[in-house]
Structure 1
């Protein structure tokens, strides 16, 4: 077991996964975990006899013997939990989105700056091998002049099957694919091309529930970034991010498949190294806790820029 003591708050799909990963990670020990749902606690406790489980998130946040807290709770609760943990001297690793209200996101960014502790948001694309490769190719001039980016997403079922237990994901107040998925690709574009500004966006909502369609034109400098996302369609699930260049273009599909074209058909790009996972991002978080500044880990300030873009879609509905 590692020397960094991590408490976990939220034991749904992501919290349960992170608990398993952290419990086996050489840098971390998990002494405490909590979820408001005692059923989640009952399901996980037998597999982790060394963890003290409970149903009070604040018992984890306030615990004096923890070095860090991981948050996998609904996003409206991120700000109070994260700010309290940071003010108590703990590092914080949070699921995305950073928050819902922009004021809460700014509180989290400011608390992190004030505390001087490691702070990170779990964007899955931050250390994927496909992302690191397209970043290397892009910075090496492989694309030529970047003409634009397309973000194309489709969800025949929302929430997706593996998230069916998270009722909040189906609601407009905290859920929807914009916060849960589009945020990953906004982060990626911000990382590769720089901060985004909103040109025009539109969002469609049903009578009850989260968005069913979102379209937008964003810009990174003068480079157009087009967003097209839909839910509830008869068709396959789709995750595509395309960077169009004058010399070569690059397609990231299904989170970790990378393709390139110099004018013809898409061709796969060979990838090496670790694919990127919760394990590798925990390793980066451990490095941040020890005073390093990993480039492949998004901090609260970066996540706030992403949140500002994503929430602009919701203000149109």
Structure 2
């Protein structure tokens, strides 16, 4: 039976997942309704998808759905998740879990056995699958260190201007929560749990989110170095996750390019089937939605778990707590 997906929040992520859901196999998953309290968002939704069911409230959306996708600002995540779970629905949530780490921990205890997952798309990434294959094939050998580099021309990125009110605030926003979290999840998923050794974060503009972050983390016997900043690249968004071993080096570049270091030339070479993020994203979201359907039906899937999301948030908030002026 087709899963009825309800979407709360018609911002960037809500729109992306809605488009993916509308294009999905209707025998597997369909859209029950969408809810956003903003009149402007409702007008845009009606224009983008004439005939779409627009719920009048979050409660109405939850009632109409088998699974609720929460894509509203972070402060609303847990109240909505609790309401949906109390109504017996499955929940697929954006990160971070909460703006209050203690509440996130409490929720993790409450919802330990719930049908709940978090939208970290690296769980369905073709490029990440390629990295894992290379590791399994022995390309890397024994891992020696990990490097994470994150850069932006400006923050928020140009396509996020509608969310600047919270996305550039120190309480809910910032690139460490929004972007670095994905690469911490990738490290956890690929290599195991992390420990924060040291961090330095700069908040030079009062009332705004961080502009630079540097952190040293570690896995057992494996150092992880993180560097990120705003105004350090001419690209809107540039990132690398690099795994260096005693036999070789591999990396993920700009979200979707799996690459191997050619030791003869000293250059990274893309996997033959690598595609840019704009083309990879809808394919990855389709894979995520297949797993959302499985989650809702109680079947096996490998979406990011509540425990993984909590671990990521704990690392993110520990890094941000080392703030400098």
- Compute the TM-score of the two structures, normalised by the length of structure 1: 0.92
**Where do 1:65-214 residues align within 5 Å?**
65-114=64-113, 116-117=114-115, 119-166=116-163, 167-205=165-203, 206-214=205-213
| Shift of residue 47, structure 1, vs aligned partner | 4.0
TM superposition shift of 1:13: 1.0
- What is the CA-CA distance between 1:126 and the residue it aligns to? 1.5
Matches within 5 A, 1:1-317: 3-26=2-25, 27-54=28-55, 56-61=57-62, 63=63, 65-114=64-113, 116-117=114-115, 119-166=116-163, 167-205=165-203, 206-233=205-232, 235-236=234-235, 237-261=237-261, 263=263, 264-271=266-273, 275=280, 276-295=283-302, 297-317=303-323
Q: CA deviation at 1:270?
A: 2.2
Q: Are 2:140 and 2:244, in contact at CA under 8 Å, matched by a contact in 1?
A: yes
Look up the SS of the partner of 1:242 in the other structure.
strand
Contact 1:149 1:242 in 2 (8 A): yes
How far has the Cα of 1:138 moved from its partner? 1.1
Distance 2:218 2:87 in 1: 38
**Is 2:132–2:190's contact at 8 Å kept on the other side of the alignment?**
yes
Instruction: Tell me how far 1:224 sits from its aligned partner.
Output: 0.6
CA distance, structure 2, for counterparts of residue 163 and residue 55 of structure 1: 25
- Whether the aligned pair in 2 keeps the contact of 1:148 and 1:245 (CA below 8 Å) is yes
SS of the aligned residue for 2:85 comes to: helix
SS at match of 1:103: helix
Structure 1 unaligned spans of 5+: none
Check the 8 A contact 2:258/2:274 in 1, yes or no: no
8 Å CA contact 1:5–1:29 kept in 2: the answer is yes
CA contact (8 A) 2:257 2:274 kept: no
SS in 2 for 1:260: strand
1:113 match: secondary structure: coil
Greater CA drift, 184-193 or 231-240:
231-240
RMSD: 1.9
8 Å contact from structure 1 (residues 83, 107) kept in 2: no
Offset from partner CA, 1:51-86 (integer Å, 9 cap, x none): 32145333323x1x4211001011111111111211
Asked whether the equivalents of residues 86 and 111 of structure 1 are also in contact (C-alpha less than 8 Å), the reply is no
Deviations 1:156-207 (A, max 9, x none): 1111011110021011110000010000000000011101111111110022
For structure 2, the 5+ residue unaligned runs are none
**Residues 150 and 229 in structure 2, CA contact (< 8 A), matched pair in contact too:** yes
Task: State the distance in 2 between where 1:33 and 1:66 align.
Answer: 10
Partners of 1:159 and 1:71 in 2: how far apart? Answer: 21
